[in-house]
Structure 1
């Protein structure tokens, strides 16, 4: 067991944590029983109590079961942050089914993969996303889409600037296989008794990988419970805390820090559908927000607001997140303005958010943190698997209660992702790092071929796989290119077919990509080349292109 970090362990916390033998759904039931009139959610000035949240979850769970959803079935959740997202998530769990969180940026090709890979028959979608998923009803496993309109849950008197998708009129189209959120809720069907146990599957977030198509990370109620409890206790959260929810709930960090954690302890989440720095500042002041989990680019934008000094931010007692290292200058500005250190952490979809967090009393800048409760993390040699010592770079491997069981329907990938050390099963993160004498971990590089664009992980092989659907592409290689705002951006090096050579433009290709994939994956730079470099064995030498790109533009 790695224990070097115990010398800096938070003095008020135990080093191990006993997890409840209950499901995630039970957390909501308990908080509603304890704090029925306490606000679970505030959505653009509209409050929702724990009593009402539980009632709506029960009704939607009953509806799902009436449509044939049974224990272990997978249900797609394709929405942006909203009360309906929280209701849908917990309704799926209450129905003993499994949540498949889908990135709202995903489009046709990606949605097809989610449906075919999970066998989902039902999708719960935001109305602004319905056009992408509704055409797939009846074309595969998908039988029904439940469409939610966010504006039915806002306070109509709010003075806050509303995102377009929140302000939009409610869905009113009558289409086969489509039902509105309100019509489904109006059925008021009582669900059967909840039977899910800690070891049953609860959530399968998808993590893209070097083999191309995204892989589903199988998480049980126990593994999701672990990170929710870890976050609550690490931050000393109570039922009177108020969290600003700006990270997307489909992402494990937002899911844990801004939804599951607050519901576990009975606190309040102030939900934003879209990031907007002035609205965030108003909400912090208006609702005396105490905690805010974000990504570094969000914090940077927030602090860059020239009017930020006009807002009272004194209620905040925790700001932190990850996605990329926090620039020292920005961290210093945050400290001057709020008196708070930016608390960085580290985790993956495979670990349902954090395995490492900086201790609040002793954080280190640009640091992943220390292993949290019951997490055993090591640094090993990528090839020999030999364990490394302090200051030596190698791959992070982690063993803990929050680690995935493996990848959905991918036994070979699952086997390759784990290694046995000291009789324990460790997950291979693919990230290169080292730890110092105090047990703090620091990122160095990535073993896997991945592009980090403003904190969004873009896997070149996945983008290549999607682009090969274009009839005019003969070969394509995706690399990163330096970008002053995003850090890295996506570049496509393309060899066109002879028939298309000279007839297809860079703009044509980018436009096509925007229809096929999430916006952050779309190449912002397209270069048509005569040939791609290859090794004597015919293997694409992507690293050569990568190095040339950064040498020329870095």
Structure 2
């Protein structure tokens, strides 16, 4: 076999797990051998349409069998998969398509109104539509390039396997991370990055081929894809794909399918245990609850512990595919608030400004090294140069996050050097929001900070100085952002101030703003 990457996984599973359920989705159930056949057909169909190794294939859609089929078909072909966040605004989607140079876009029919304008003035040559809802009566979207139906394209492909040479160092996925200075960066995840991350999960989370994972988080996020779906499929377990999160339905699916694994953020787990059906639902099958994004509130820990469950928590990012550390369930109480221990095949260190290791308890920048860590960004040589430290043992990723190790080797996150806001599991970089608000003529200065929120953990708040001689209201600021940014990035409130606290060099002192307005 020439293909040593993700594209070979399902082919190998078709024999080892023949007859076992791989996917359960709105399209029905698929066994591993059925999934492998569809991946082979799609691979051939894409090759017939001129796609070749290295070409980028973008996907804009909710969780579905088609998402994973496209991922594995791209891997089988040696092409590069580019999953897009469905919550982004058209200009944000368009940027990712332009920057990646994607030649093909696969999109769900319900997102046609988003995909059509976003695909204009890009390298996209063809669009495949996945039917994910009954046909609607409104006017069809005006796509700028030829459109084909996903199932028809797949059916046109031959069933023979294309054995394309793919190595672990080859690029598998480009995942866009929110930009700290405007535009997002494309993290270049290789087949090796994703494979080693899956091995870390299998080692530290003790998964088995009998596991049933319920995917309630979107697969276009690296956590759901890298920590949830891929390790389970590598091991031969089953995945239930949900297009959107509904706590009552989650409880029903747990009972119906004897779900063993769920991954999410604190907000999702809180909404599940607060649902009226929580106490009466049989959740005895659950054994792996994985939570990331921020620490689980004590009241949520209590609710699950009363039913005999504990959480595996962790710390990571897109650039680490995404696992950097993990906190085993046994330590969820004694080390509450910790990101945990480094993953089995990953190294983590805390360093001072000269990149020297900090002693226990001393705060410094968190850096990560390992086979699951990317080594560069797509089309961003300057970001690559500034984001890594070359050491004798290889590159170390500068996370931009601050933290410390305790005496037992557990990592604690103390601050975010890059001021990132995490809202309901979504990363929000204030600079991108500030850039849009600053475009308003009436704005003299703006800073975006995170404020605590009972449901989402934290939400953005804009602090604005109005230019002399102008007037501006909160509604005007928020309406200006509508359609330019994903809705979760838009501040939930605006505070107007006379002036900003600044450093001697003129930089806005955000810690001061947080103390006053957060």
Correspondence for 2:478:
510
Cα deviation, residue 472, structure 1: 6.2
Correspondence list, 1:414-433, <5 A: 414-421=384-391, 423-433=393-403
Correspondence for 1:321:
291
Cα deviation, residue 515, structure 1: 0.9
- The CA deviation string for residues 68-125 of structure 1, in whole angstroms up to 9 with x for no partner, is 3211112211111111111122122122111112111111221121122111121111
**TM-score between both structures, scaled by the size of structure 2:** 0.92
**CA–CA distance in structure 1, aligned partners of residues 13 and 403 of structure 2:** 39
Correspondence for 1:134:
116
Cα deviation, residue 547, structure 1: 2.3
The verdict on how the C-alpha distance between 1:38 and 1:470 changes in structure 2, with shifts beyond 3 A counting, is farther
Q: Is the 8 A contact 1:101 1:205 kept in 2?
A: yes
Mapped pair 1:182 → 2:164:
no
The verdict on how the C-alpha distance between 1:149 and 1:377 changes in structure 2, with shifts beyond 3 A counting, is same
Please say which of residues 57-66 and 262-271 is displaced more in the overlay. 57-66
Cα deviation, residue 282, structure 1: 0.7
**Structure 2 SS opposite 1:141:** coil
**CA–CA distance in structure 2, aligned partners of residues 312 and 37 of structure 1:** 27
The verdict on how the C-alpha distance between 1:399 and 1:148 changes in structure 2, with shifts beyond 3 A counting, is same
The verdict on how the C-alpha distance between 1:467 and 1:144 changes in structure 2, with shifts beyond 3 A counting, is farther
Mapped pair 1:104 → 2:103:
no
Correspondence for 2:324:
355
Mapped pair 1:39 → 2:21:
yes
The verdict on how the C-alpha distance between 1:289 and 1:421 changes in structure 2, with shifts beyond 3 A counting, is same
**CA–CA distance in structure 2, aligned partners of residues 85 and 246 of structure 1:** 14
Correspondence for 2:231:
261
- The CA deviation string for residues 228-272 of structure 1, in whole angstroms up to 9 with x for no partner, is 122123222222211111121111110023321121111100111
The verdict on how the C-alpha distance between 1:55 and 1:216 changes in structure 2, with shifts beyond 3 A counting, is same
**Of residues 480, 490, 508 in structure 1, which corresponds to 2:450?**
480
**Structure 2 SS opposite 1:439:** coil
**CA–CA distance in structure 2, aligned partners of residues 147 and 171 of structure 1:** 16
- The CA deviation string for residues 153-211 of structure 1, in whole angstroms up to 9 with x for no partner, is xxxxxxxxxxxxxx675999485422222232232246743221111000111122422
Cα deviation, residue 526, structure 1: 2.7
Q: Is the 8 A contact 1:100 1:203 kept in 2?
A: yes
The verdict on how the C-alpha distance between 1:101 and 1:137 changes in structure 2, with shifts beyond 3 A counting, is closer
Cα deviation, residue 36, structure 1: 2.5
Mapped pair 1:369 → 2:340:
yes
Correspondence for 1:541:
508
**CA–CA distance in structure 2, aligned partners of residues 247 and 493 of structure 1:** 31
Structure 1 gap segments, 5+ residues each: 1-19, 152-166
Please say which of residues 518-527 and 463-472 is displaced more in the overlay. 463-472
Mapped pair 1:25 → 2:22:
no
Correspondence list, 1:70-469, <5 A: 70-151=52-133, 173=140, 175=143, 176-189=145-158, 192-337=162-307, 339-363=308-332, 364-381=335-352, 383-421=353-391, 423-468=393-438
Q: Is the 8 A contact 2:375 2:395 kept in 1?
A: no
The verdict on how the C-alpha distance between 1:136 and 1:432 changes in structure 2, with shifts beyond 3 A counting, is closer
**Structure 2 SS opposite 1:345:** strand
Structure with the larger RCO, 1 or 2 (CA within 8 Å, 6+ apart):
1
**CA–CA distance in structure 2, aligned partners of residues 21 and 55 of structure 1:** 17
**Structure 2 SS opposite 1:323:** coil
**CA–CA distance in structure 2, aligned partners of residues 221 and 85 of structure 1:** 17
Please say which of residues 460-469 and 248-257 is displaced more in the overlay. 460-469
The verdict on how the C-alpha distance between 1:340 and 1:116 changes in structure 2, with shifts beyond 3 A counting, is same
- The CA deviation string for residues 330-381 of structure 1, in whole angstroms up to 9 with x for no partner, is 21221111x1221111111000011211235555322211112221211111
**CA–CA distance in structure 2, aligned partners of residues 184 and 468 of structure 1:** 45
**CA–CA distance in structure 1, aligned partners of residues 444 and 87 of structure 2:** 27
Please say which of residues 234-243 and 461-470 is displaced more in the overlay. 461-470
Q: Is the 8 A contact 2:264 2:290 kept in 1?
A: yes
**CA–CA distance in structure 1, aligned partners of residues 150 and 495 of structure 2:** 45
Structure 2 gap segments, 5+ residues each: none
